[in-house]
Amino acid sequence: MLWPRLARNLLRPPVTDAPVVPLPEVVAALRERMEAASMRRLGRSLAIRQVDAGSCNGCELEINALQNVAHDLERFGLRFVASPRHADVLLVTGPLTRNMAEALLRARAATPEPVWIVAAGDCAVDGGVFKGSYAVLGGVEAVLMPDLIIPGCPPSPTELLEGLVALVEANA
Amino acid sequence: MRAAKVLESGVIAPCMPWPRTVLDAAAWLRLREALASDPSLDLLALWGEPGFVHAAFLDIAAPRLWLASTAVEGGRVPALSPVRPGAALFERALHDLWGITAEGAVDARPWLDHGRWPVRAPLSPRPLSHSPAADPMEFLPAEGAGVHQIPVGPIHAGIIEPGHFRFHVQGETIVRLEARLGWTHKGTLSLLQGKSPRVAARFAARLSGDSTVAHSLAFARAAEAASGAEAPPRATALRAVMLELERLHNHLNDMGFIANDAAFAPLHAEAGLLREALLRAQHQAFGHRLMMDRVVPGGVAMDLSPEGQAAIEAALAGAAAGLPRLLRMYEGHASLQDRVLATGLLPPALVAAFAPGGVVGRAAGRAFDARMLTGEMADCPTQPGADVDARWRQRHAEALAAIARVRTLLAGLPPGPLTVSLGHGEAREGVALVEGFRGECLAWLALDEGGLIRAAFLRDPSWLHWPLLEAAVIGNIVADFPLINKSFNASYSGVDL
Ligand code: SF4
């Protein structure tokens, strides 16, 4: 019969020993070593998801130029990724048009913590020349607090690199 | 009846250098009727102003520009899209920005207005305040066994501008694509209003950053035409130099990126390096890598020093040596040729109906270049083919021609002043068409007595490229979309305004 067996099994105390509790000091020490090891291996790398929040595409030209062989940003541990889910950095350009605000927030929501928000270009800093238009919110800051701003119209690849490499250094 | 005949029957408004014809309601309908059977006039643009709708047409046989206007009655104007399919997107923008309904339009759905602005019809005489909320987007359907949708964007996987692509696919094959844009709408046209051309020039320079010289030049030439001013010879020559440099660096970029989207990295790397050398020389010569804000109404913002000229000449020598190498690389790999040949074919009937400008048009045999209007060019090379390959080769040919042209210009730079001041006094209008790397950039502006902008329109060639991209991808596999898209390289910001 199934029922008496079930009832017996439910009421009988387990034969397994009580769980062991690791020593907190050991856990803490191991965690520290693990973090140090991962920082050593992964800490000098940042994955960047670029989000155009309404730019004129001038900023995109210079961001793309970071990938040419002269600037070769991957040698600094920086690389562009296709999904915000793989990103450490959201590199935002444009005056934040009203039409793009929700998309930017959704990209932010899809990015795992911790995330650096970088506002690149005069537009992303405060709306640039488009400040005051009915169609823009006037810079990334209207919806997300930037950790770093890189001014310029557009910022040159060297200026962009200086900002991004500073992030790598700060992280390492 | 010839459409030009109808245009000649209107009342002439003094727009320089091409007069604008004002047609009454009956004549506008006659124009539409004439356009239906007369293919000689291509539609360049359609835009609004409180109380009026304006259209720009091109007669490439003449070659000449025609401007036509009609009064808006009861918020409506007869649509041109039934006879010129390229008018459809303009008509949707006409509704979103000026609140003018194109009656009988082939597509009445919103375009730039996603419902998120605090106003409706921001450029109408009385914009309505509106509480922002995203309007649902309605897409054109596709039916059939196993058809499914792939929504992409507005944020794309790469470092590109935002837009939403709605694919309908059957297996791997694209059966319909719809591009929904407007995401980068910055209210540029409203920012131009009430400003002097000098102050407003920075918005033209930022309509589409990659075409900053071309749009700045179209805007400056329109402003000069409206004020009866003429840029001094040295400024004109330096502008032409910058325009060709912009063409060259963008063509190099596109040739590289097309190869990259076919997963052929070496060509991309090589083209990128040639372009980078050019941008550095441009920075040295003009103080800005993209030469932004260097073309201003009245002339140019700075002179070219002998060192700057030497830097440009060195970069050109590099590009001139590199371009044949790029072509050899491009032609020498069967795997690359396999991706680009017969991919993204543009049907000849659509080329005729839309009359696209620039590389897209010339790579489909349409022999027009805006430099033919000013006599800077007698004729222009074209390619047969109308596929990705033809667009790549057209860019290559134009890049070589750009180098030759810059060299000629630099060898004979006239001395003299760099700017003239724009006079003002009476209310005047001006229009200009400039051949940017993508195609014809049109600028039209009307000044008031104080010399401030009463109304303006800036037209990027991409207005006609987007609908043609939608057509060119049909029957191709989804995986070839990035490649075809890159071969068009239409601007998002340029049409989002
Ligand atoms: S900062 Fe300048 S280059 Fe960048 S998007 Fe704004 S206007 Fe364009």
* ipTM of predicted assembly, 2 dp: 0.94
Q: Is residue B87 part of a domain?
A: yes
Q: How far apart are CA B258 and CA B235, in angstroms?
A: 34
Of A50, A100, A122, A136, the one to substitute when testing ligand 1's pocket (max ligand atoms within 8 A of C-beta) is A122
Q: Is the CB of B209 under 6 A from ligand 1?
A: yes
How many domains does chain A contain in total?
1
User: Which tens digit of pLDDT belongs to each residue from B80-118?
Assistant: 999 999 999 999 999 999 999 999 999 999 999 999 999
Domain shared by B315 and B447, yes or no = yes
Q: How far apart are CA B81 and CA B91, in angstroms?
A: 8
Interchain proximity A55–B209, CB inside 8 Å: yes
Interchain proximity B116–A107, CB inside 8 Å: no
User: Which tens digit of pLDDT belongs to each residue from B338-353?
Assistant: 999 999 999 999 999 9
Q: Is residue B327 part of a domain?
A: yes
φ, ψ at A14 (rounded to 5°): -65, 155
Q: Is residue A27 part of a domain?
A: no
Contact B88, B74 (CB under 8 A): no
Q: Say what the pLDDT of residue B132 is.
A: 85
Out of B190, B269, B491, the one facing A134 most closely (by C-beta) is B190
**Closest residue in chain A to residue B200, using alpha carbons only:** A129
Take residue A128 and report the two structure tokens written for it: 């640039």
How many domains does chain B contain in total?
2
Q: Is residue A66 part of a domain?
A: yes
Interchain proximity A95–B154, CB inside 8 Å: no
The residues pairing with B299 across neighbouring beta strands, listed in sequence order, are B296, B419
Residue B278 has pLDDT above 80, yes or no: yes
Q: Where are the alpha helices (DSSP H) in B135-232?
A: 188-192, 197-204, 212-227
Residue B401: in which H helix or E strand, if any? helix B388-411
Q: Say what the pLDDT of residue B136 is.
A: 87
Give the CATH number, domain containing residue A50: 3.40.50.12280
Instruction: Tally DSSP H helices, then E strands, for chain B.
Output: 16, 18
Q: Is residue A20 part of a domain?
A: no
The stretch B327-343 carries a mean pLDDT of 95
Choose from A97, A131, A143, A164 for mutation: most chain B CBs within 10 A.
A97
Among B186, B316, B190, B166, residue whose Cα is nearest residue B245: B316
3-state secondary structure of B378: coil
Domain shared by B73 and B196, yes or no = no
B145-154, B195-204, B323-332, B437-446: lowest mean pLDDT where?
Answer: B145-154
Contacts of B412 (CB under 8 A, 6+ apart): B237
Q: Is residue B290 part of a domain?
A: yes
Interchain proximity A70–B292, CB inside 8 Å: no
Give the β-pairing of B128-129 and B119-120. antiparallel
Contact B490, B438 (CB under 8 A): yes
Chain B partners within 8 Å of A70 (Cβ): 272-273, 276
Q: Measured between CB atoms, does A67 come within 8 Å of chain B?
A: yes
Q: Measured between CB atoms, does A100 come within 8 Å of chain B?
A: yes
Contact B177, B155 (CB under 8 A): no
Q: Is residue B26 part of a domain?
A: yes
Among A86, A53, A50, residue whose Cα is nearest residue A66: A50
pLDDT band at B255 (very low <50, low <70, confident <90, very high): very high
Contact A97, A55 (CB under 8 A): no
Q: What angle do CA A61, A65, A68 make, to 5 degrees?
A: 150
Give the CATH number, domain containing residue B41: 3.30.460.80
Last residue of a domain, one of B64, B92, B112: B112
Q: Is residue A71 part of a domain?
A: yes
| Share of residues in chain B with pLDDT > 90 (%) | 88
Q: Which residues of chain A have pLDDT under 70?
A: 172
Interchain proximity A55–B122, CB inside 8 Å: no
Q: Measured between CB atoms, does B147 come within 8 Å of chain A?
A: no
Number of other residues whose CB lies within 10 A of the CB of residue B174? 22
Q: Say what the pLDDT of residue B425 is.
A: 63
φ, ψ at B287 (rounded to 5°): 75, 10
- A138 CA: distance to closest CA in chain B (Å): 10
Structural domain that includes position B29: 3-112
The stretch B8-36 carries a mean pLDDT of 93
Last residue of a domain, one of B88, B112, B136: B112
